[in-house]
Structure 1
């Protein structure tokens, strides 16, 4: 049987644009497209396309979501049929109605097969007392929670609401179907940017319906000072990729049950940041 083609989206530190890599062997090796050159640059908002995420929408097309810079409360959206030609980019003002919302990081979406709705998720800080411009986003952890809105058509969206709040800062949630449940990996944003910190690592939880209740977290998966998890199926289990951002490299882990994880090997493009993986429609 021919392996499905897996598509990896990512950005780089030197080029905050959409880069792609492909795997034709089921997720063991990803080869960069166009020798690692970007396939799409930002044209709205700040002009950045950070944390690019790709998924298939209700129209059967590929939908891109991306972070619009460090302190924008909107996310970037565009659509493509072939990953080459893209619709005009637009900003989705997902946090515009929330007073004191400073940002909207690492947007993704997943499909709820029980309702037919698509849930957008992202990380935001809400603090009316301190302006976004005074925050050291790159070096100091902020009080993030995971937020969400829902849509059936990517044209109209429900009001934003908190999706996941474990009582401490969290960012970079990613959600996949795992049988009758959803599996969610996320970053515990407590601690400091040091490999010896007690937090800044990836945890995993699960839920049966969007919004919880959530199972007790499991992990950590991988070392501390890790972010941007992505989950995809390989062989008979899950592969998780994670960005070891202080070390400038990527790690990977494997699990058959979403609970117990062991190191895995995946060949990846050099220099990538915050990657996501999805299966290209047949």
Structure 2
């Protein structure tokens, strides 16, 4: 069956080679998160072909796992990736970079919460490239017990969002609070619509909610205000966004029903459920979407073919 899948992939890739357009790449992981990086690609942003994995075995962090891999492609076509290294414990996240998504730099552990001895976790670090300041903003969720007001959450499950900035992934700014909306929040994603016009997709992680909302701001660092009502159902998380034909697609892990869903919007006010229009590999989990060249994709398919022959 694997060889048959490979034969199906190849004509799709080479059909795009004539115009050399970029395609989309979707990072992922598989439970129990010890295998590392999985990938899928798409021509249209709706239908995703499994490139399988693992393309990077996790070595950073005490638990040696990789969850929530977030990736961004820079101006020199280098991919920078961060990921969750520990479900509980730890004070940082993993980082590595690659030109081809096959050969990776040495993995590093970035201890961004080392100054907080009571920190419970660091979840779902997400990279955003701030083109206004030519820097990268990395945001993540952490719990520091008794730091913030809470509802019915336990003290060790009362998250807020934090951030650092970097230009080179070698030196980082001081860690600061990114978002305190007055409730437990995780899995945030920054979206730039225009200059001074940003949207923040968030997961309200409070026990009654556990769904996705949006807020609006004039800077990628906020403040983000006018937080919306939920536009997804109970137990949904891990959003990622891409823009296709002038509209935004928000993919998310519908973990309550153990599947993936998506909505489409042009204004982040009205959302259309398009789950019946998308197709993702079985087992696909929380990741992010970037772009990929035909040449890099050919290399990935060649590696996948060699490892499955």
| Pairwise same-fold verdict (TM > 0.5) | yes
Offset of residue 241 of structure 1: 0.6
Cα distance in 1, alignment partners of residues 103 and 190 from structure 2: 27
Cα distance in 2, alignment partners of residues 58 and 70 from structure 1: 32
The match for 2:201 among 185, 207, 214 is 185
Matched, 1:143 2:153: no
* Bigger Cα displacement from structure 2, 202-211 vs 244-253: 202-211
Q: Match for residue 100 of structure 1?
A: 118
Any residues of structure 2 matched to 1:1-282 within 5 Å, and which?
4-16=22-34, 17-24=36-43, 26-33=44-51, 36-45=52-61, 46-57=63-74, 60-71=77-88, 72-127=90-145, 142-180=157-195, 181-191=197-207, 198-264=208-274, 265-280=277-292
Structure 1 residues 172 and 235, CA, compared in 2 at 3 Å: closer, same or farther?
Answer: same
Q: Is the CA contact (8 Å cut-off) linking 1:117 and 1:150 kept in structure 2?
A: yes
Structure 1 residues 146 and 281, CA, compared in 2 at 3 Å: closer, same or farther?
Answer: farther
Cα distance in 2, alignment partners of residues 199 and 166 from structure 1: 14
Q: Is the CA contact (8 Å cut-off) linking 1:73 and 1:94 kept in structure 2?
A: yes
* Bigger Cα displacement from structure 2, 203-212 vs 52-61: 52-61
List structure 1 segments (4+ residues) > 6 angstroms apart after TM superposition.
Answer: none
Q: Match for residue 6 of structure 2?
A: none
Offset of residue 80 of structure 1: 0.2
- CA root-mean-square deviation: 2.2
Instruction: Name stretches of at least 5 consecutive residues in structure 2 with no aligned partner.
Output: 1-18, 148-152, 295-309
Cα distance in 1, alignment partners of residues 155 and 48 from structure 2: 32
Cα distance in 2, alignment partners of residues 96 and 157 from structure 1: 13
Structure 1 residues 11 and 141, CA, compared in 2 at 3 Å: closer, same or farther?
Answer: farther
3-state SS of 1:168 partner: coil
Cα distance in 2, alignment partners of residues 164 and 279 from structure 1: 28
Cα distance in 1, alignment partners of residues 212 and 129 from structure 2: 22
Q: Which has the larger radius of gyration?
A: 2
Q: Is the CA contact (8 Å cut-off) linking 2:190 and 2:220 kept in structure 1?
A: no
3-state SS of 2:287 partner: strand
Cα distance in 1, alignment partners of residues 213 and 247 from structure 2: 17
Please give the per-residue CA displacement for 1:161-192, whole angstroms capped at 9, x wherever unaligned: 1101101100000112212222211100011x
Structure 1 residues 105 and 234, CA, compared in 2 at 3 Å: closer, same or farther?
Answer: same
Cα distance in 1, alignment partners of residues 228 and 66 from structure 2: 31
Structure 1 residues 141 and 243, CA, compared in 2 at 3 Å: closer, same or farther?
Answer: farther
Q: Is the CA contact (8 Å cut-off) linking 1:219 and 1:259 kept in structure 2?
A: no
Offset of residue 127 of structure 1: 2.4
3-state SS of 1:7 partner: strand
Cα distance in 2, alignment partners of residues 263 and 107 from structure 1: 26
Q: Is the CA contact (8 Å cut-off) linking 1:99 and 1:128 kept in structure 2?
A: no
Offset of residue 38 of structure 1: 1.8
Q: Is the CA contact (8 Å cut-off) linking 1:222 and 1:251 kept in structure 2?
A: no
